[in-house]
Structure 1
Amino acid sequence: MIQHTPSTKRFTAENDWLVSNFSFSFGPYYDPDNTNFGPLRVLNDDIIQPGKGFGIHPHREAEIVSIVLKGQLKHEDSLNNVGILQFGDIQRMTAGTGVLHSEFNPTSDEETHILQLWFMPNEKQLTPSYEDISFDPKKLTNQLLPIVSTNGGDHVARIHQDLTMYLSKVDAGKEIQFEQQVGRKIYLFVIEGSFTINEEVTLNERDDARITELHEITLQAKQDSFILLIDLPGGEE
């Protein structure tokens, strides 16, 4: 089954320094029928103005992944990690028993655009930890590039959950095929462009698809596209 959610159905919160689009219930937005997809609990699509950001705040019992699409993101936390991320960098933070952190746009003249995802961990009371990795953007072309996985690896962040996150930039007219084990779920998010799933469902920019009971898919780009695909465990919602 393919559940398609167009970008216009997302909840948007906006103030003078931040525009956030929520794909799942978060903050001021609550929908009891849209709280998670498997262990995926949050996907926030944020635009942060220059010199602004999220001040120090706490997290617990979550695996948090940040993907910088444009600009820079400065991170500081109570584990004494400090770093500036840009496109090609991926950040994974295990909140576990509790961590404090802040995130800012450190520039004076450029917006920062990030995707931030929260996953429920596969065990509680984990020791808080932080990791950032870099990938080669050239390796995104017409293939699924793993950026986060349960085992981690070379240029792949390790996450405490049975999942793999992929990014890909697909040229117009090209196809990508993906196959997973029976009983798992697929989450797709269109960062840019437009493509079809199995020549049946069309996704446009910022749409998502939540796929169950369908474990082989073909993605065909209708135009140059940039996508996020997550291979998730099955089980009850």
Structure 2
Amino acid sequence: MIQVKPAHDRYAAKSDWLESHFSFSFGPYYDPENIRFGPLRVLNDDIIQPGKGFGIHPHREAEVVSIVLKGQLKHEDSLDNVGILRYGQIQRMTAGTGILHSEFNPSQDEEAHILQLWFIPDQKQLPPSYEESSFDDQQLKNALHPVLSSHPGEQAALIHQDVTLYLSRLDAGNELQFHQQEGRRIYVFLIEGEVLIQNEVTLAQRDEVRITDLHELTLKAKQDAFFLLIDLPGGED
């Protein structure tokens, strides 16, 4: 089954310093039919104003992944990790038994645009940990490049869940094939451009699609496209 979630149907929340679009129930948005997709629990599309951010707050039992699309994101946590994330870097934080952290836009003149994803880990009571990895845009060009995996390579961050997150920049007219084991799920979030799925379903910017019972997928760029694709385990939600 291919279930498209158009960008205009996502819940949006806006304040004087933060604009958020939620793909799943989060904060002020609750829908009992939209809690998660497999172990994917959160995908928030956030724009943070200069000099603003999230103060110290706790997390437990989650794999928290941040991807900067524009600007900078400064991270500090109770494990004494401090770093500034920019485009081309992936941040994974295992909250496990409990961690405190803050996220802040350190720029005084540029917005920070980030995607933050939370995954339910494959085991509880993990010790908290933090990791950064990086990628080069050329690695994404007309390819599915893994940036997060339970079996990480040299440039993919480790995640404690049976998922692989790919990024891709697909030139207009080009096509990619994705294959996975039967019984799994696929999630696609289109960051920029326009993509045709299975030669029948068109995704526009910020649309998403949730796919089950289909282990071979064709993606064709109708315009230059930038997207993420997540290979997720099956089972009950």
Deviations 1:25-53 (A, max 9, x none): 00000000000000000000000000000
1:236 counterpart residue number = 236
Q: State the identity as a percent.
A: 70
1:117 counterpart residue number = 117
Q: In 1, Cα distance between the equivalents of 2:151 and 2:143?
A: 20
Deviations 1:148-180 (A, max 9, x none): 000222010000000000000000010011000
Letter in 2 for 1:22: F
Runs of 4+ in 1 over 2 A off after TM superposition: none
2:219 counterpart residue number = 219
After TM superposition, the score normalised by the length of structure 2 is: 0.99
What's the secondary structure of 1:220's corresponding residue? strand
2:89 counterpart residue number = 89
Letter in 2 for 1:120: I
Q: In 2, Cα distance between the equivalents of 1:193 and 1:42?
A: 23
Q: In 1, Cα distance between the equivalents of 2:120 and 2:43?
A: 12
Q: In 1, Cα distance between the equivalents of 2:11 and 2:146?
A: 28
Letter in 2 for 1:78: S
2:185 counterpart residue number = 185
What's the secondary structure of 2:217's corresponding residue? strand
Q: How does 1:65-214 map to 2 (within 5 A)?
A: 65-214=65-214
Deviations 1:13-35 (A, max 9, x none): 10000000000000000000000
Q: In 2, Cα distance between the equivalents of 1:151 and 1:199?
A: 31
Letter in 1 for 2:231: D
After TM superposition, the score normalised by the length of structure 1 is: 0.99
Q: In 1, Cα distance between the equivalents of 2:151 and 2:214?
A: 24
Superposed displacement of residue 138, structure 1: 1.2
Mark the runs of 5 or more structure 2 residues left unpaired by the alignment.
Answer: none
What's the secondary structure of 1:160's corresponding residue? coil
1:25 counterpart residue number = 25
Q: In 2, Cα distance between the equivalents of 1:23 and 1:162?
A: 21
Superposed displacement of residue 100, structure 1: 0.1
1:60 counterpart residue number = 60
Superposed displacement of residue 207, structure 1: 0.4
Corresponding residue pairs, total: 237
Q: In 2, Cα distance between the equivalents of 1:147 and 1:207?
A: 21
Letter in 2 for 1:87: Y
Q: In 2, Cα distance between the equivalents of 1:58 and 1:227?
A: 29
Q: In 2, Cα distance between the equivalents of 1:125 and 1:14?
A: 34
What's the secondary structure of 1:194's corresponding residue? strand
Q: In 2, Cα distance between the equivalents of 1:31 and 1:169?
A: 32
Superposed displacement of residue 228, structure 1: 0.4
Q: In 2, Cα distance between the equivalents of 1:120 and 1:169?
A: 27
CA RMSD of aligned residues (A): 0.4
Superposed displacement of residue 83, structure 1: 0.2
Mark the runs of 5 or more structure 1 residues left unpaired by the alignment.
Answer: none
Q: In 1, Cα distance between the equivalents of 2:220 and 2:43?
A: 24
